[in-house]
Amino acid sequence: MASTSIVDFEKLNWIEPPVMGRQALRDVKKSIDGTFRDFTRENGEWIEAIFDPLKWFLLWLEDVFLATPWPIFMLAAAALAYLGSRSIKLALGVVAALFLIGWLDMWEDTMTTLAMVSVATIMCIVIGIPIGIWMSRSDRVQGAIVPILDLMQTIPAFVYLIPVVMLLGIGKAPALLAVLVYAIPPIVRLTNLGIRLVDKEVLEAADAFGASQRERLWGVQIPLALPNIFAGVNQTIMMALGMVVIAAMIGGSGLGTPVLRAISNQYLALGVFNGLAIVAIAIIFDRVSQAYGKRLQKHREGGHGV
């Protein structure tokens, strides 16, 4: 009876698609691969040329960071941390973290990572905030863009590395593009959310005073939405740092490269130290941006109360 049931199961054809269906699926895959391959061959050069200015800016910023003497860089980083957080403890923590990174011979890789994260964050802000504003002004636009953001946040990073590498090859430009695609959704979402959460009574008051659409946006909505926008910037930075190791696989260099080397050669100390350096940078950015966002929130609430 057992053998009969097995034979009957093998005769059933519901586990795999029919032969014609499998052949059609293979044809579709080959068609997609061939079309994209032809597209990259015909348009790869001018697509690479589009990203040349971005690559130049990244290399320039990286050279600036590397050329800056470490005491000056540490003091500048501590000053920026204090201006953002108004916390001497946090500023001293920045100095201590950077000193340890230099003492453990990870300074150059850290500067490379900081340059990539900085450029990626700037690009996310430049691109993401206008898109968020656009979404906040139209429910139809929001309905069209939200599924794209969902796809960008849920698709595995290795999947969208494939078309990036096929278009741009291996190097800093494709690594930066991968980081940008991975890190931009939070700032878009939170910019849209922050503007939509502005109190309608405040907007009605602005309209009563005769404010135009532009004045209402830049004078009322954007200032009141700044805490949410800075929360989006914070999340964007965290996601960019989380992408460092994966970006190193396609030429991103920085702290991700030693981590990959440690994985390949089972160097525990190398991987742990460079991983902790990434964590330290993430904590610094997170604490400073959160402290600045809280200060901004208190300022807005105090101004609104007056």
Residues contacting 225, CB < 8 A, separation 6+: 191, 194, 195, 197, 198
Q: Do residue 166 and residue 96 come from a single domain?
A: yes
Dihedral in degrees, nearest 10, Cα atoms 104, 107, 113, 114: 120
Residue 9 inside a domain? The answer is no
| CATH number of the structural domain spanning residue 79 | 1.10.3720.10
CB of 85 within 8 A of CB of 288?
Answer: yes
Q: Given its phi and psi angles, is residue 58 left (phi above 0), alpha (psi -120 to 50 degrees) or beta?
A: alpha
In a domain, 10, yes or no: no
Q: What is the pLDDT, as a whole number, of residue 9?
A: 47
- Quick one: tokens of 284? 């610094």
Q: pLDDT truncated to tens, each residue of the chain (306 aa)? A: 444 444 454 454 555 555 556 777 777 777 777 777 777 777 767 777 777 888 899 889 999 999 999 889 999 999 988 888 888 988 898 999 999 998 988 899 999 999 999 999 999 999 999 999 999 988 899 999 999 998 888 888 777 777 777 777 788 888 888 888 889 999 999 999 999 888 888 888 888 887 788 888 888 888 888 888 888 988 999 888 888 878 888 877 888 888 888 888 878 888 888 888 888 888 888 888 888 777 766 655 555 443
The rounded distance, in Å, linking the Cα atoms of 75 and 92 is 10
pLDDT score, position 221: 86
Same domain, 252 and 108: yes
**Are the CB atoms for 222 and 230 separated by under 8 Å?**
no
Is residue 2, in this structure, part of any structural domain at all? Answer: no
Domain boundaries, position 159: 51-305
What is the domain count for the chain? Answer: 2
pLDDT at 231 (0 to 100): 87
pLDDT at position 138 is 87
Q: Are residues 150 and 280 in the same domain?
A: yes
Residue 64 pLDDT = 92
Residues 34 and 168 in one domain: no
Residue 198: inside a domain: yes
Whether 146 and 193 share a structural domain: yes
Looking at the structure, tell me whether residues 162 and 195 fall in a common domain.
yes
8 in any annotated domain = no
Q: Are residues 39 and 83 in the same domain?
A: no
Q: Note the pLDDT of residue 302.
A: 55
Is 41 in the same domain as 108? no
Do 161 and 26 share a domain, yes or no?
no
Same domain, 22 and 74: no
Q: Are residues 110 and 25 in the same domain?
A: no
What's the confidence (pLDDT) of residue 132? Answer: 93
